[in-house]
Structure 1
Amino acid sequence: MGNMMRGVSASDQVNTDPDSSQKGLEDDMLVVLQDYPSCEISEPIYRMGEKLRLVTQEAYWWRVRSVQTGKENYIPNSHVAKVYHGWLFEGVERQKAEELLCLPGNRVGSFLVRESSRERGLYSLSVKHRIVKHYRIFRLDNSWYYISPRLTFQCLEDMINHYSDFADGLCCVLTTPCLSGTTPPSDVTPVAPSVVMRRNFDWRKVDRRQLVSTALESDNTVSYGVRNSIAAYLSFSGSQHSAQMGAERRKKKSKSVYALPESGLANTDYDDDF
């Protein structure tokens, strides 16, 4: 991929792990460039912008694992692009870069570096701003990179780090790699909130002894505040009921005082002015 990173090259490292080749494949990140299969054919298995892990790489069909769902399937290699360091997209054209940067989850400053599909070692920087801006990355004879001739960098990583701190002529500071906001769902199954069931009760049938019990009694079905409220209501309604009963008793009493016995009605004179 050119002089991208400083340090020991892969050819200089001694491979002591027999599974390293498989691990290398597992570490390869892919991004879907277009829905597969097409919506005109059936419901897509993978959609544009989805992140995949490369499981096995064959001539045309690659076995991949979805980062989001964990499901494995095959996809044509023409429908995906390899992604290195999170921001270096292999073989992505200008128009496709714009489509990817315009997907939900990307914000102002989201970016990607795309390597030309026609010639290895030629790169461009695409940045999302009001529109997607593109910058050609040039390379000197000594393999250093630059966008502006006054600033040269030994590797692409140094260039990205610099423009992540300073715009220095770009449309804006680089913020996050393209599609970095797409994260897999948590493996932890969400737990439904616990529901506390209360025993149904008719407050009209509440034992008054419960209303005057202390709040420290944990087995009381009525809270302290509710008990006070109900007690106040019962006291008020009880006083009204007592007053009503008293009025009825007084009414009955007055009737018994002024009622004349049926047996003496014919023989008793009734004075209206009494």
Structure 2
Amino acid sequence: MGNMMRGVSATNKVKEDIDSSHKGSEDDMVVVLHDYPAPEISEPVYRMGEKLRVIAQEAYWWRVRSIQTGMENYIPNSHVAKVYHGWLFEGVERQKAEELLLLPGNRVGSFLVRQSARERGLYSLSVKHRIVKHYRIFRLDNSWYYISPRLTFQCLEDMINHYSDSADGLCCVLTSPCLSGITPAPDATPGPPPVVMRRNFDWNKIDRRQLVSTDSCTNNMVSYGVRNSIASYLSFSGNQDPAQNRAKSRKNKSKSVYAIPENGLSNIDYAGDF
């Protein structure tokens, strides 16, 4: 049997050197690894699992703002880990990954990819199931990634997309990044834009005969609203059938998969101490 190649994603690839490949707005997102201050010293200002936005980095101390509460303060950089894409945690060990995934709010299928604190470019996938499972992520000479040798991916994002669609040998389908259920502070992010109605009217004041008006030139409000509703529906639905829409949706996930047809499920390697 021959090899199978699917579409290759050309953007958002995770490079080996995180420092050079993740510049921009993601650089300032961190997660708390240890309560600070420690509970035996005083009531913690920031607790393990809390997401923070870095405002300023001042050597050992970073000034941060809580995504949940909006509180600003300082925290030692040894108490936090940088997070990219919402699921790539920098320098998080196996035990700490389990502690984070077992926090309230994480459901079955919650996951994180963790980069080794000891050796750059080594990754493992940690997934919450009945217990937390760990999978070693390997890398080929061409820099493609794989957990099972029968499926390789051009980048980590493509791997996550694939296992979010199908468990394909993992303990379960990936459902959501670790700690993604944290609720932001009310003023932390702007809300959705207001919905502006072009015309307002009271249904109780509308003559029933207006509901079936077919005069396209009439200025009554009901026929105007109905016509615009129909136009909006047609513009969204187009002429594609449901099967075409589903195919287009799958294509937009931009997965790149190189499959080697073999009995590969048994080749998945569970991460050891890493």
Q: Please, what TM-score do these two structures have when normalized by structure 2?
A: 0.60
Matches for 1:234-245 after TM superposition, within 5 Å: none
How far the C-alpha of 1:183 sits from its partner, in A, is 1.4
* Distance change >3 Å, CA 77–CA 6, structure 1 → 2: farther
CA distance in 1, matches of 2:134, 2:72: 34
CA distance in 2, matches of 1:71, 1:31: 14
* Distance change >3 Å, CA 28–CA 41, structure 1 → 2: same
Contact 1:25 1:55 in 2 (8 A): no
Q: Which has the higher strand share?
A: 2
Partner residue in 2 for 1:186: 186
CA distance in 1, matches of 2:186, 2:128: 28
How far the C-alpha of 1:63 sits from its partner, in A, is 0.8
CA distance in 1, matches of 2:156, 2:27: 20
Q: Is residue 2:7 matched to residue 1:7?
A: no
* Distance change >3 Å, CA 153–CA 76, structure 1 → 2: same
CA distance in 2, matches of 1:9, 1:57: 26
CA distance in 1, matches of 2:103, 2:13: 34
CA distance in 2, matches of 1:79, 1:91: 11
Partner residue in 2 for 1:78: 78
Partner residue in 2 for 1:43: 43
Partner residue in 2 for 1:271: none
CA offsets 1:96-125 (integer angstroms, 9 cap, x no match): 000000000000000000000001110000
Partner residue in 1 for 2:32: 32
Partner residue in 1 for 2:213: none
CA offsets 1:120-173 (integer angstroms, 9 cap, x no match): 110000000000000000000100000000000000000000000000000000
Q: Please, what TM-score do these two structures have when normalized by structure 1?
A: 0.60
* Higher-Rg member (1/2): 1
Secondary structure of the residue that 1:174 maps to in structure 2?
coil
Q: Is residue 2:67 matched to residue 1:67?
A: yes
* Distance change >3 Å, CA 101–CA 26, structure 1 → 2: closer
Contact 1:115 1:122 in 2 (8 A): yes
CA distance in 2, matches of 1:26, 1:54: 10
Partner residue in 2 for 1:173: 173
CA distance in 2, matches of 1:170, 1:85: 21
CA distance in 1, matches of 2:109, 2:130: 10
Matched residues, percent identical? 85
Instruction: Give, as a single letter, the amino acid of the residue that structure 1 aligns with 2:157.
Output: E
Secondary structure of the residue that 2:153 maps to in structure 1?
coil
CA distance in 1, matches of 2:90, 2:119: 11
Secondary structure of the residue that 2:160 maps to in structure 1?
helix
Give unmatched runs, 5+ long, in structure 2.
1-8, 15-22, 189-274
Partner residue in 1 for 2:230: none
Secondary structure of the residue that 1:99 maps to in structure 2?
helix
Q: Is residue 2:59 matched to residue 1:53?
A: no
How far the C-alpha of 1:7 sits from its partner, in A, is 3.1
* Distance change >3 Å, CA 26–CA 148, structure 1 → 2: closer
CA offsets 1:17-40 (integer angstroms, 9 cap, x no match): xxxxxx946752110001000000
Secondary structure of the residue that 2:54 maps to in structure 1?
strand
Partner residue in 2 for 1:234: none
Give unmatched runs, 5+ long, in structure 1.
11-22, 189-274
CA distance in 2, matches of 1:81, 1:36: 14
CA RMSD of aligned residues (A): 2.1
Instruction: Give, as a single letter, the amino acid of the residue that structure 1 aligns with 2:118.
Output: R
How far the C-alpha of 1:9 sits from its partner, in A, is 8.5
Partner residue in 1 for 2:89: 89
Matches for 1:121-200 after TM superposition, within 5 Å: 121-187=121-187
Contact 2:29 2:84 in 1 (8 A): yes
Secondary structure of the residue that 1:164 maps to in structure 2?
helix
* Distance change >3 Å, CA 26–CA 8, structure 1 → 2: closer
* Distance change >3 Å, CA 6–CA 28, structure 1 → 2: farther
